[in-house]
């Protein structure tokens, strides 16, 4: 290690601020341990380009100016300053380390003989930890290094090298995991047992953090020839840039959830778009490439009935699934609240008869290599014989049920846990309103809770106590103003019909419509099982009649220029040429 000397002589004014009391034996033990660890540090020059040279110069000037005689004299009057701190003894082991905020200079003494000073610094993210040190006297042979706690070697701290200029040594460490790290400082010339270090011999240490880690590549949703925006997710607060070749089509900044939407002009099919993320430190990610697909894409996921349609949806969205949610396929109350739990568990929803599991469902459980099945509803909904048959496959079975639909929904919410910001409150005796918001609720892991039109059940009230906001689905014929006024920060989403309410969900919540899932609004099963797949693909659900696209839905498609549709269910649910 290098010796630093800066013109900060005559620093006796600091003596009164520094305690030199310690146990000599313990200090000597710590000294030898830290000296050995510091000597293990490979002395290698810091390669050019690893750190911004302006950053290094800034640290050097900050350290020297903070330890100038004039500054220390001012420091003596207030015992500390905004820039400079004074070490406090004891700080000679990891448990008593002084806190050293980044970009704050710490001034200290290395007394008595074999003194060790230890500081702990918080590194907020992956990046580079810079440590700079100097002394005001040749009597101090300052040596320092950064460590993980208790000298652990987990590979989180990688020494990059040192830079020495004008009596200041700067070290750089690549930090591979955010957390607390430790700086040890010693006077390394105590080998002869003689200390020529006096009370006015001081040193200074300062740390800084530089984010040099590029963001992950942005995820990019499908882009078609009809798309007027590029959407996806990336690092929160990063700037998203979409290019074709060297031409920038548009930019945007991700929101607090990491989502982005970049407006672009329509591109021809086959055009390669390159999407990058730039973080606040200016680090640029590798580019994600997406090719523009043909517009007006219409796909259908279906089976011969609602049970096999649920299986088809599962096959479309999951290669494997550790957990599967199983619900009665011929009545909606218990299953109505299942979508957010299924999404949280990354689980498809499969349907069953009350007494017997279909052979196709057995085969789907095998294909998914399922290890857990969560049954929604009591034995009157899904019999114990079904549960036993699943257990016989070596699959664990969990049942969530209550004495009524309201308690079942409440228990699902409790099973989800967490601290959701919002809950969905909807009519427990009808399904369309809940299905219209099911994808959004699932994606945000907001529980769906049920109510009577004019009475908020006690089970629902209990869960809502800990949730600060509510979204109320449907008009006053579904959820009365009496119930509405009992809720916390309620917002109502409704329309004149179930189809208009589904449109209102998209408009009110500003949902992305690059891709939509289409389900019949006249039955619950296909929309229920499709809601988790829609959530996985960041897409809403719109409702139609079998042979007619209702006016509110048709207007939505036109306004948002929607061109990518996935139909849920066979032609008995949605006719062949309804959407072309």
d(CA 50, CA 500): 57
Contact partners, residue 67, CB within 8 Å, separation at least 6: 6, 8, 84, 105, 107, 134, 136, 202, 204
Q: For 347-396, what is each residue's pLDDT tens digit?
A: 999 999 999 999 999 999 999 999 999 999 999 999 999 999 999 999 99
Q: Where do the structural domains in the chain lie, given as residue ranges?
A: 12-210, 236-291, 297-568
Structure confidence at residue 6 as a pLDDT band (50, 70, 90):
very low
Three-state secondary-structure class, residue 513: coil
Per-residue pLDDT of 280-299, as tens digits, reads 889 999 999 999 987 667 89
2: pLDDT strictly greater than 50: no
Q: pLDDT tens-digit profile of 301-359? A: 999 999 999 999 999 999 999 999 999 998 887 788 999 999 999 999 999 999 999 99
User: Which range (19-33, 269-283, 512-526) has the least confidence?
Assistant: 19-33
Phi, then psi, of 462 in degrees rounded to 5: -60, -45
Q: Which CATH number fits domain 12-210: 3.40.50.1950, 3.30.360.10, 2.60.120.380, 3.30.428.10?
A: 2.60.120.380
Check residue 65 and give its pLDDT: 65
Q: What is the pLDDT of residue 228?
A: 87
pTM of the model: 0.53
Beta-ladder partners of 284? 278
Q: Is the pLDDT of residue 560 over 80?
A: yes
* 241 bridge partner residues: 251, 276
Which residues does 127 contact at the CB level (< 8 Å), separation at least 6?
174, 175, 209, 210, 211, 212, 213, 281
Percent of the chain with pLDDT over 70: 87
Task: Give the confidence band of 224 by pLDDT, cuts at 50, 70, 90.
Answer: confident
Average pLDDT over residues 530-550: 95
Assign 38 a pLDDT band (cuts: 50, 70, 90): confident
Q: Which residue has the tokens 């050019």?
A: 48
Each residue's pLDDT tens digit, 129-158: 999 998 888 888 899 999 999 888 888 999
Q: Tokens for 525?
A: 């099963």
């Amino acid at each position: 290690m290098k010796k630093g000397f800066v013109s900060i002589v005559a620093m006796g004014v600091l003596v009164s601020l520094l305690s030199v009391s310690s146990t000599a034996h313990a200090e000597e033990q710590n000294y030898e341990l830290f000296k050995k660890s510091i000597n293990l540090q490979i002395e290698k020059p810091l390669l050019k380009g690893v750190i911004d040279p302006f950053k290094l110069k800034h640290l050097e000037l900050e350290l020297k100016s903070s330890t100038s005689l004039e500054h220390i004299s001012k420091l003596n009057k207030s015992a500390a300053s905004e820039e400079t701190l004074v070490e406090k003894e004891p700080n000679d082991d990891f448990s008593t380390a002084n806190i050293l905020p980044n970009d704050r200079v710490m001034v200290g003494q290395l007394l008595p003989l074999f003194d060790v000073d230890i500081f702990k610094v918080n590194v907020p993210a992956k990046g580079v930890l810079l440590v700079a040190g100097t002394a005001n006297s040749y009597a101090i042979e300052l040596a320092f290094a950064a460590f993980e706690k208790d000298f652990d070697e987990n590979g989180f701290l990688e020494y990059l090298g040192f830079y020495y200029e004008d009596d200041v040594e700067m070290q750089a460490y690549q930090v591979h995991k955010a957390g607390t790290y430790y700086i040890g400082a010693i006077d390394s010339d105590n080998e002869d047992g003689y200390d020529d270090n006096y009370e006015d011999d001081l040193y200074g240490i300062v740390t800084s953090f530089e984010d040099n880690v590029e963001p992950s590549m942005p995820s990019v949703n499908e882009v078609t020839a009809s798309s007027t925006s590029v959407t996806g997710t990336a690092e929160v607060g990063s700037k998203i840039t979409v290019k074709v070749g060297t031409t920038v089509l548009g930019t945007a900044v991700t929101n607090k959830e990491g989502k982005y939407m970049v407006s672009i002009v329509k591109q021809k099919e086959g055009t390669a778009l390159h999407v990058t993320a730039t973080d606040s430190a200016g680090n640029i990610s590798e580019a994600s490439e997406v090719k523009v697909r043909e517009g007006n894409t219409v796909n259908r996921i279906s089976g011969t009935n609602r049970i096999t349609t649920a299986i088809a949806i599962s096959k479309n969205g999951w290669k494997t699934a550790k957990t599967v949610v199983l619900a009665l396929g011929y009545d909606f109350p218990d299953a109505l609240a299942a979508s957010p739990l299924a999404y949280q568990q990354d689980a498809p929803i499969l349907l069953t008869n009350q007494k017997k599991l279909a052979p196709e469902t057995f085969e789907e459980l095998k294909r998914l290599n399922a290890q857990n099945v969560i049954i929604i509803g009591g034995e009157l909904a899904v019999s114990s014989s079904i549960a036993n048959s699943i257990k016989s496959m070596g699959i664990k079975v969990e049942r969530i049920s209550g004495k009524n639909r309201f308690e079942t929904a409440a228990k699902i919410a409790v099973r989800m846990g967490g601290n959701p910001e919002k809950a969905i409150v909807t009519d427990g005796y009808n399904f369309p309103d809940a299905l219209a918001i099911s994808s959004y609720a699932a994606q945000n892991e907001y529980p769906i809770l049920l109510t009577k039109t004019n009475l908020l059940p006690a089970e629902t009230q209990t869960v809502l106590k800990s949730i600060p906001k509510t979204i109320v689905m449907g008009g006053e014929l579904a959820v009365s103003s009496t119930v509405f006024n009992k809720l916390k920060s309620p917002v109502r989403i409704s329309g004149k019909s179930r189809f208009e309410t589904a449109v209102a969900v998209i408009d009110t919540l500003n949902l992305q419509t690059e891709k939509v899932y289409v389900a019949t609004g006249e039955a619950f099963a296909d929309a229920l099982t499709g809601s988790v797949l829609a959530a996985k693909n960041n897409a809403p659900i719109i409702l139609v009649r079998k042979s007619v696209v209702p006016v509110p839905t048709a207007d939505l498609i036109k306004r948002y220029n929607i061109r990518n549709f996935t139909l849920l269910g066979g032609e008995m649910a949605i006719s062949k040429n309804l959407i072309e």
